[in-house]
């Protein structure tokens, strides 16, 4: 890491969405992620960097990867991490989200990580607490650390994100992963093809980053058009839990799989060295056939591993301050 990058103070108090970050912010997180990754390979996977800091993981919506990786990330940085889920908390007794947040704040945490089914919940909490707030996925809005770990994974395989052709395929309308990735990849200079049934792609998707995304996001309604010459293929699942009254927008699983499922035949349209990504959880046999998901071109489990390093980087930047004492991490 160059001295210039090491000295940069991260200019944000919270991580609420990729929309708030610029390319330098994203680059700083990715560089720090690269630097921290090796800690996860050590025999003793722990550094003292966040000793004495308290991280509350408030997961009011289900999660496996994000919740566990935030907990591991905090522990490997020596923070005291406490996990709170909706079913085990007083949220199930009718306490409002803001009351829960204010009560947790009274215990003086340094960071609150929140996942919530309502878009905007982390931003609302950030207005009412004094500590750093990290969005771990809010409704259909954003999932910033997922996009960051996806960028870290792409960068590891491709060297750079600029100029890559990235296909994002699935239920774009209900996907916070798609929104955060479109913004992150566009800011890092990629070209993005979004693909799925017309009923599951909002007309405004090319506009989410203004002129930037208008110039580099293209909508494809045929899987073959999205995959042709792609460097990266990112498959998403149908968000059945969010379809609700819009369920009629989704024909049926068999038809979806036939037209939009990734299999060996359709994957052959992408570049020979294209990587296959999925944020998880996968619905095997629907958006992706098992032989493709488990193939040598799949980097899905690398994404999960990078999730720990990215969340260590984000906790470090927001839970401690800046990079000027980066050396202390590697003692
Ligand atoms: N990718 C992701 O957010 O997975 P989880 O819902 O399991 O956290």
Instruction: For residue 265, give the CATH number of its domain.
Output: 3.40.50.1370
**314 & 187 share domain:** no
Average the pLDDT over 89-111 and give the result: 92
- 289 in the same domain as 161: yes
For the entire predicted model, the pTM comes to: 0.94
In a domain, residue 225? The reply is: yes
The finding on whether 117 has its CB within 6 A of some atom of ligand 1 is no
Average pLDDT over residues 156-177: 97
Residues 97 and 163 placed together within one structural domain of the fold: no
| Region label for 187, one of left (φ > 0), alpha (ψ between -120 and 50) or beta (otherwise) | alpha
Quote the mean pLDDT of the chain. 93
Of all atoms in ligand 1, which is nearest to the CA of residue 143? 3
Averaged over 110-121, what is the pLDDT?
96
- Are 141 and 118 a contacting pair, CB within 8 Å? no
294 and 160 fall within a common domain:
yes
Tally of structural domains, the chain = 2
One domain for residues 258 and 292: yes
**CA distance linking residue 225 with residue 324, whole number of Å:** 46
Q: How far, in Å, from the CA of 122 to the mean position of ligand 1?
A: 17
Average pLDDT of 27-55?
97
Q: Does the residue 108 lie in any domain?
A: yes
Residues 24 and 130 in one domain: yes
- Do 229 and 296 share a structural domain? yes
Q: Is the CB of 63 under 6 A from ligand 1?
A: yes
Inside any domain, residue 329: no
**330 within some domain:** no
Domain range for 224: 144-303
Q: How far is the CA of 57 from the centre of ligand 1 (A)?
A: 14
Residue nearest to atom 7 of ligand 1 (CA): 64
The pLDDT of residue 91 is 84
pLDDT of residue 329 exceeding 90, the answer is no
Distance 172 CA to ligand 1 centre (A): 16
User: Does the pLDDT of residue 112 top 60, yes or no?
Assistant: yes
Centre of ligand 1 from the C-alpha of residue 238, in Å: 14
Q: Quick one: 271 and 289 in the same domain?
A: yes
């Amino acid at each position: 890491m160059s001295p210039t990058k090491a000295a940069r103070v991260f200019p944000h108090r919270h991580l609420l969405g990729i929309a708030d970050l610029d390319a330098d912010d994203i680059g700083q997180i990715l560089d720090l992620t690269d630097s921290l990754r090796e800690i996860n390979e050590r025999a003793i996977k722990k550094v003292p960097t966040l000793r004495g800091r308290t991280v509350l993981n408030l997961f009011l919506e289900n999660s496996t990867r994000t919740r566990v990786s935030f907990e591991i990330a905090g522990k490997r940085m020596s923070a005291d991490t406490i996990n709170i889920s909706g079913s085990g908390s007083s949220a199930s007794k009718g306490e409002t989200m803001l009351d829960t947040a204010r009560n947790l704040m009274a215990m003086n945490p340094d960071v609150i990580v929140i996942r919530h089914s309502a878009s905007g919940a982390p931003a609302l909490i950030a207005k009412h607490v004094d500590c750093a707030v990290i969005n771990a996925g809010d409704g259909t809005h954003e999932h910033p650390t997922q996009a960051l770990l996806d960028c870290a994974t792409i960068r590891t395989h491709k060297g750079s994100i600029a100029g890559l052709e990235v296909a994002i395929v699935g239920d774009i309308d209900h996907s916070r992963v798609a929104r955060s990735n479109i913004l992150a990849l566009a800011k890092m200079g990629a070209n993005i093809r979004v693909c799925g049934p017309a009923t599951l792609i909002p007309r405004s998707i090319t506009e989410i980053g203004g002129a930037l995304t208008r110039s580099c996001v293209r909508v494809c309604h045929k899987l073959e058009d999205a995959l042709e010459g792609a460097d990266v293929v990112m498959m998403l699942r149908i968000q059945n839990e969010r379809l609700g009254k819009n369920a009629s927008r989704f024909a049926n699983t068999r038809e979806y799989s036939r037209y939009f499922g990734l299999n060996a035949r359709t994957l052959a349209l992408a570049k020979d060295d294209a990587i296959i990504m999925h944020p998880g959880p996968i619905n095997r046999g629907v958006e992706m056939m098992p032989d493709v998901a488990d193939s040598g071109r799949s980097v899905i489990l690398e994404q999960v591993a990078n999730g720990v390093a990215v969340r260590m980087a984000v906790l470090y930047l927001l839970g401690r301050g800046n990079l000027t004492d980066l050396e202390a991490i590697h003692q």
